[in-house]
Amino acid sequence: MGFVSFSYRIFGDMCRSMRPYFNDVKDDMKKANLNYTFEEYFSMTFFVVMIAFFVETVFLSFIFGFFVEPVLAILMSMILSIGISSVLFFIFYTYPATVASRRANNIEKAMPFALSYLATLSSSKVQPIVLFKSLGQFKEYGELAKESKDIANNVEIFGLTVSDAIRTQAKSTPSKKFRDILWGINSIIVSGGDMTSYLSGKNEEAMNDYRSKIRKFSQEISLYLEVYLTLIITGTIFFIVLTSIISVVSSGIETILTQTFVTFILLPVLSIMFLILIKSRSPLE
Q: Tens digit of pLDDT for each residue in 31-80?
A: 998 889 999 999 999 999 999 999 999 999 988 888 888 889 899 999 99
Interatomic CA distance for residues 276 and 285, integer angstroms:
11
Q: Which pTM does this prediction carry? A: 0.77
DSSP for residue 67 = T
Q: Give domain limits for the chain.
A: 3-104, 106-206, 209-281
Residues 88-138 pLDDT 10s:
999 999 999 999 999 999 999 899 999 999 999 998 888 899 999 999 998
- Residue 141 or 246, more confident: 141
Distance in angstroms between the alpha carbons of the first and the last residue of the chain = 40
70-122 and 38-64 helices, crossing angle to 10°: 150
Residues 178-235 pLDDT 10s:
999 999 999 999 988 899 999 999 999 999 998 898 888 888 888 888 888 888 888 8
Enumerate residues 6+ apart whose C-beta is below 8 A from 95. 32
- pLDDT for 261: 85
